[in-house]
């Protein structure tokens, strides 16, 4: 699944600033933490079940997917309502990473002070402010669009907290649970991202509701999420979080010690290796392309293919669902071909699918082509993580992955904004050529990666990538 805009995209969960819990067995960790907690605070004898927390985080990621997939669907309606040019509307994509990266940066501090309970309160409040302002303050004469941009930054601050926090929490689960829960989390995100454009299109075309009517729906979903999260994590305060870290307690911001990497390894050590910069360029191109497609495909379908609002919304849903399906279904092919050859093949097929989109002027064919592009996009982000983690020493993984993911966020902002500027200058049909060129650039950058060491079996790398971060989208 995964994501635009802000444009939310797939790499986003990698930006977490939260040290993972020790990779111990769940039950052992819970028992040891509870024993220590009892000495300090009798309230820590209470605890919600891990199942309750898992279900709460799944709901949270479902809502996150709904929010992340919304900008591309509402973009044409915002332009009409506020009389915006394409460049002005593209500011949505430019400001979104500001909030997200701020949330990712402060994640560690909030956990240290307030624990997961703090995240369960602060993040939904930010999302409530975003959806509440978007649904209520939409008068063009009273600076409605400026309010929308500010609300977008606030909302994405909450999105950044949720994305990184629950990924880190799931990564701290013991045994096989961590991979299972990570997969469920991002499966929930993909479902939300796929349903979002479809449901929004239904609200616009069948219910004849204005664009802000969709934000009323999101507001209700966010409020429900807030109640569930607070109940599930109501005992997980800062003290319990610090106790769970064990004897090697850290001060806020000491991500290096938490990742067991020496201080010099983050981030300067990783930046000394060419593969880190190659991967950063790859993510800049790939994530920028993904965000540009998800952000502008609805507008393209409406203007260039003269599709109905409902069909145009389906193209966005199809892109997200295609990515989710590709991530799950292309795994065996990646194992068989090897990550290097398989990813190059996926990019070639995506380029051919984009060529069909450009050559055939038919709405339904265009939707199918967009779904195919999304399908072969699915494994691309995990493949980049595989390459950088296999080609760098283990102690540099955290620094390298954090850096390239941040560059990917830059692509998520620049890609759709550049698209909007070109559309303003040359017309919406530049969408086809822009995506085609970006796909070719992504393929060329992919070929710059060195080959994996001969001792490594490329068929094993998918599992390695999942251990680093199984979701890799969106994010």
What are the backbone angles phi and psi of residue 453, rounded to the nearest 5°? -55, 145
Q: What is the CATH number of the domain that holds 237?
A: 1.20.1250.20
Q: What local confidence, expressed as pLDDT, does residue 259 receive?
A: 36
As a whole number of angstroms, the distance between CA 389 and CA 409 comes to 19
**Would 103 be classed as within a structural domain?**
yes
7 falls within a domain? no
Contact 313, 198 (CB under 8 A): yes
475 in a domain, yes or no?
Answer: no
Q: What is residue 49's predicted lDDT score, i.e. its pLDDT?
A: 85
Sequence length of the chain is 475
Domain interval for residue 295: 12-468
State the first-to-last Cα distance of the chain, in angstroms, to the nearest integer: 8
At residue 146, the pLDDT reads 94
Mean pLDDT of all residues in the chain? 81
Helices (H), 144-254: 144-171, 177-205, 211-232, 238-244
Q: What is the CA radius of gyration of the chain?
A: 22
The pLDDT, as a whole number, for residue 401 is 75
User: What pLDDT sits at residue 268?
Assistant: 63
Q: Which two tokens stand for residue 367?
A: 């939707």
What pLDDT shows up at residue 382? 82
pLDDT given for residue 1 in this prediction: 42
Q: What is the pTM of this model?
A: 0.74
In a domain, 302, yes or no: yes
**Which three-class secondary structure state does DSSP give residue 395?**
helix
Task: Please report whether residue 168 resides in a domain.
Answer: yes
Domain count, the chain: 1
Q: Is residue 473 part of a domain?
A: no
Residue with tokens 């990698």: 14
- Cβ(411)–Cβ(291) below 8 Å: yes
- Residues of the chain where predicted confidence (pLDDT) is lower than 70: 1-48, 171, 174-176, 178-179, 246-268, 398-399, 453-475
- The pLDDT of residue 342: 93
Whether 416 maps to a domain, the answer reads yes
Q: What is the pLDDT of residue 126?
A: 97
Beta-bridge partner residues of 5: 7
How far is the C-alpha of 178 from the C-alpha of 172, rounded, in Å? 7
**Whole-number Å distance between alpha carbons of 439 and 289:** 7
Q: Is residue 228 part of a domain?
A: yes
Assign 5 to helix, strand or coil.
strand
pLDDT at position 454: 56
């Amino acid at each position: 699944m995964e994501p635009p805009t802000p444009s939310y995209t797939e790499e986003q969960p990698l930006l977490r600033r939260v040290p993972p819990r020790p990779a111990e067995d769940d039950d052992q960790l819970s028992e040891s933490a509870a024993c220590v907690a009892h000495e300090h605070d009798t309230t820590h004898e209470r605890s919600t079940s891990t199942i309750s927390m898992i279900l709460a985080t799944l709901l949270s990621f479902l809502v996150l997917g709904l929010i992340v997939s919304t900008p591309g669907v509402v973009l044409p309606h915002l332009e009409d309502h506020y009389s915006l040019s394409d460049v002005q509307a593209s500011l949505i994509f430019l400001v979104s990473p500001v909030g997200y990266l701020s949330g990712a940066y402060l994640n560690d501090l909030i956990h240290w002070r307030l624990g997961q309970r703090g995240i369960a309160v602060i993040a939904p409040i930010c999302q409530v402010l975003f959806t509440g302002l978007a649904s209520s303050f939409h008068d063009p004469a009273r600076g409605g669009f400026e309010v929308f941009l500010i609300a977008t930054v606030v909302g994405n601050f909450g999105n950044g907290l949720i994305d990184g926090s629950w990924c880190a929490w799931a990564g701290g689960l013991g045994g096989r649970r961590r991979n299972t829960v990570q997969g469920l989390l991002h499966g929930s995100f993909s479902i939300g991202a796929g349903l979002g454009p479809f449901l929004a299109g239904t609200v616009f075309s069948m219910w004849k509701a204005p664009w802000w009517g969709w934000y009323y729906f999101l507001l209700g979903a966010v409020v429900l999420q807030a109640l569930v999260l607070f109940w599930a994590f109501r005992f997980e305060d800062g003290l319990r979080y610090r106790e769970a870290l064990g004897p090697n307690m850290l001060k806020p911001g000491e991500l290096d010690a938490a990742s067991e990497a020496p201080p010099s390894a983050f981030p300067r050590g990783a930046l000394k290796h060419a593969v880190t910069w190659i991967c950063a360029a790859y993510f800049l191109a790939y994530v920028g392309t993904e965000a540009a497609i998800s952000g502008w495909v609805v507008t393209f379908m409406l203007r260039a293919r003269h599709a109905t609002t409902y069909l145009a919304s389906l193209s966005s849903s199809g892109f997200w669902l295609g990515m989710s399906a590709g991530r799950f279904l292309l795994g065996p092919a990646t194992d068989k071909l090897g990550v290097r050859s398989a990813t190059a093949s996926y990019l070639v097929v995506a380029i051919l699918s984009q060529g069909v989109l450009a050559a055939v002027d038919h709405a339904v064919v265009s939707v199918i082509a967009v779904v195919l592009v999304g399908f072969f996009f699915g494994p691309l982000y995990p493949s980049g993580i595989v390459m950088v983690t296999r080609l760098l020493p283990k102690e540099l993984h955290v620094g390298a992955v954090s850096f390239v993911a941040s560059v990917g966020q830059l692509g998520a902002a620049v890609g759709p904004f550049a698209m909007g500027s070109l559309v303003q200058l040359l017309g919406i049909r530049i969408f086809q050529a822009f995506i085609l060129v970006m796909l070719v650039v992504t393929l060329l950058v992919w070929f710059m990666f060195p080959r994996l060491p001969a001792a490594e079996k490329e068929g094993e790398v998918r599992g390695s990538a999942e251990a680093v971060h199984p979701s890799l989208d969106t994010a």
